């Protein structure tokens, strides 16, 4: 059985909110290895706000190899196979 990342174990799947997309975007940028300053500019934040909000992400990724955001998204989607809602095509 594939080991789930810690985030998937902590929270059940719930419908997304715009904030969740923003948080994912910032987290993915950090996971790619971008600086706090770069992420702050993308979010139109002050760097201190970004650091206080996403500092836990930086800590969690400290010992994790940096990967491309597209690869991280593809990996997350692959883990959801079998747990996704049926699409129109699969219901036909």
pLDDT value at position 31? 87
Distances, alpha carbon 21 to alpha carbons 15, 16, 32, 37, 74, in Å: 11, 7, 16, 19, 16
pLDDT value at position 77? 83
pLDDT tens digits, 31-72: 888 999 999 999 999 999 999 999 888 888 888 888 888 888
Structural domain spans, the chain: 24-75
> Between 40 and 14, where is the model more confident?
40
pTM: 0.60
- Residue whose entry in the numeric block shows the structure tokens 């969690």: 60
CA-to-CA distance for 92 and 86, rounded, in angstroms?
10
pLDDT value at position 90? 46
Distances, alpha carbon 19 to alpha carbons 38, 43, 77, 85, 88, in Å: 19, 11, 20, 22, 27
């Amino acid at each position: 059985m594939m080991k789930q990342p810690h985030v998937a174990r902590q929270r059940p799947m719930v419908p997304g909110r715009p904030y969740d997309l923003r948080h994912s975007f910032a987290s993915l940028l950090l996971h790619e290895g971008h600086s706090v300053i770069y992420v702050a500019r993308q979010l139109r934040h002050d760097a201190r706000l970004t650091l206080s909000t996403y500092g836990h992400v930086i800590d969690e990724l400290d010992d994790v190899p940096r990967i491309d955001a597209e690869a991280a998204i593809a990996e997350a989607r692959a883990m959801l196979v079998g747990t996704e809602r049926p699409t129109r095509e699969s219901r036909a």
